[in-house]
Amino acid sequence: MGKGKRVVEKEPKRAKEVVNGNRKAVKITVITIIALFIIFIIAMILNNYIILDNNETTNLVINNKNVTVDLRNDILIENDIIYLSEADISNFFDKYMYLDEETNKIITTYGNKIAEIGFDENIININGTDKEISAHAKEKDGEIYLPISEMSDVYDIEIQNIPETKVITMDSLDREQRRANVTKNTAVKSSSNFISRTVDRIDKGEAVIVISVDGNYARIRTSDGKIGIIKSNILENEVVAREKRVEEKQIDGKINLVWDYFSEYVTAPDRSGTTIDGINVVSPAFFYIDEEGDLQENIGEDGENYINWAHNNGYKIWPMVSNAYAARESLDVTSNIMNSYENRKKLIEEIVEKCEQYNLDGINIDFENMYAEDVDMYSRFIIELTPRLKEKGKVLSVDVTAPDGADTWSMCFDRHVIGDVADYIIFMAYDQNGTSSTKPGTTAGYNWVNLNLVKFLQTEEIEEEKLILAVPFYTRIWTTNSSGEIVGRNTVSMKDIESVIPEGVEKTWDDELKQNYVEYMDGNNKKEIWIEDIDSLKAKISLIKENNLAGVAAWEKDMETEEVWDMFKNELMGD
């Protein structure tokens, strides 16, 4: 009994200790929660009023995006001149920037501007005109720097340096800009999360740039160059401060171009009183490079009449500039032009002058038979020509061959670069089998054309709306002897094919090539023709719609049958 009594006497004391301990724990918990709440409130208040995003180094904001982390080199600011490295300008503005060793100048292109700037004089040349500036290119720690604050008109940008917040903003003047005012004092947050750092503070009535609005939140840029989030319902008086600049296309819908070839020894054909149904571009052989590397014209009175005929019928005129004459003399003629910036510039100036002199709508560059090692220099020519023509509102189209061919015929073109910078790149989808072929074959089989279009669009990454498919109005009569050797490969116009096929020779349709084929004996020799006719052309034209290409070009006028034009018009433009 006594033992049991002692146990009963201790239990109330232990229970009391437990209760007291629980009360103490609750009290501590409550105090902790209150303290945390107070700290949270203080933190929220401080977060809303203390800017937690002060820049330690200069930040660069381009078109409302902070690109500082993408900079490859430091920004230099000397005597209020802002310098960006060549690598960074190449990354953000001109990926084709080029140091010309001959002149020791940086050549840069953007939009409708080409500029050259040196390392000694405070002069920049823009589209052929010198302009005095306050700085020049410089080298530092092995890097080339350009005074971008002196080049704003080259890159068509507005630049603002905000030393107080260590922010430099650059805005492209061809982009839309929207502005609004805020209706109350507010903190600009790094995100729309409940807790996020304050990047800036703006006062009631302050103007901001509106980047985007998504429901209850708006992404804005402050006058300090800071980018962040505010509530969208505190924005008012939103206006378009700068309209988006839209580049109008010279031709709506599909391009339907025909080359009108005549040699440098004859004059332009007389087309007066005629029309070509469905055509919207003609490309006559007006210009060529001579054996000295100079640009020559073959226009005269007949050519001017041709221009008037084209414009009176609503056709745009993009004459050819060909190097065929020079290449027949020597591949070195073209090479000498391409490998000298001064020679390229001279040719470009002459082309621009001819465009203005004769009121031309564009130019078609048809350079073929060039050294493969000049591939980059030919690209430079196209890169440098493009802005000069854009400045004048002229179109540039460039002819190229199929990829993966001979050095001087195929490997001399960087199709990706040409397609990137020119208005149009024209795939001359011929000759699959030409004058150098060792066996007879089609000029342009459907399967071969289709395969190469895939290469253009996927491997070369050409935008489909820039790619024009060129088709032939001719084929060849192949002649082989009893030993199978080629003894003739005569070109025959589409309109003359029926007249050269002997009576009674049967045509067979090749569904892979999508062409009619004939063969027959001429004495001991075999004749073979892969026929270009309305059916074979229609099959190739179908690839334009299937791949949403820019349009069609045809080589050459007066080789066709009349029914071709109705077919082109119906297939490309509807009835």
Q: Which CATH architecture has domain 255-472+533-573?
A: Alpha-Beta Barrel (3.20)
Q: What percent of the chain has pLDDT over 70?
A: 92
Using CA of residue 196, residue 200, residue 206, residue 209, what is the dihedral sign?
negative
> Domain 176-242: what homologous superfamily?
SH3 Domains (2.30.30.40)
pLDDT exceeds 70 at position 455: yes
What's the pLDDT tens digit per position in 92-151? Answer: 999 999 999 999 999 999 999 999 999 999 999 999 999 999 999 999 999 999 999 999
pLDDT computed for residue 413 by the predictor: 98
Q: What is the mean pLDDT of residues 321-325?
A: 97
pLDDT exceeds 50 at position 231: yes
Average pLDDT in the chain: 93
Boundaries of every domain in the chain: 59-162, 176-242, 255-472+533-573
Contact 83, 75 (CB under 8 A): yes
Q: In which band, very low, low, confident or very high, does the pLDDT at 29 lie, cut at 50, 70 and 90? A: confident
The H-assigned helical ranges of 330-472 are 331-338, 341-357, 375-391, 415-421, 446-454
- φ/ψ of residue 56, rounded to 5: -85, -35
Q: In which band, very low, low, confident or very high, does the pLDDT at 2 lie, cut at 50, 70 and 90? A: very low
Structure tokens at 84: 């960006």
What's the pLDDT tens digit per position in 339-395? Answer: 999 999 999 999 999 999 999 999 999 999 999 999 999 999 999 999 999 999 999
Structure tokens at 426: 């024209």
C-alpha 161/C-alpha 366 separation (Å) is 46
Q: What is the mean pLDDT of residues 168-191?
A: 97
φ/ψ bin of 293: left (φ > 0), alpha (ψ from -120 to 50), beta (otherwise)? left
pLDDT computed for residue 9 by the predictor: 47
Q: Are strands 515-522 and 217-221 parallel, antiparallel or unpaired?
A: unpaired
Per-residue buried b or exposed e for 172-202, using 16+ beta carbons within 10 Å of the residue's own CB = beeeebbbbbbeeebbbbbebeeeeebbbbb
C-alpha 490/C-alpha 434 separation (Å) is 10
Instruction: Please state, in angstroms and as integers, the Cα–Cα distance from residue 190 to each residue in 199, 217, 248, 486, 549, following that order.
Output: 6, 12, 38, 75, 44
The H-assigned helical ranges of 358-467 are 375-391, 415-421, 446-454
Q: What percent of the chain has pLDDT over 90?
A: 88
pLDDT computed for residue 3 by the predictor: 46
Map residue 485 onto helix, strand or coil: coil
Contact 390, 352 (CB under 8 A): no
pLDDT exceeds 90 at position 432: yes
pLDDT computed for residue 15 by the predictor: 57
Enter the DSSP assignment of 150: G
Q: What is the mean pLDDT of residues 236-247?
A: 96
pLDDT computed for residue 405 by the predictor: 87
Q: Which CATH architecture has domain 59-162?
A: 2-Layer Sandwich (3.30)
Q: In which band, very low, low, confident or very high, does the pLDDT at 275 lie, cut at 50, 70 and 90? A: very high
C-alpha 234/C-alpha 212 separation (Å) is 14
pLDDT exceeds 90 at position 234: yes
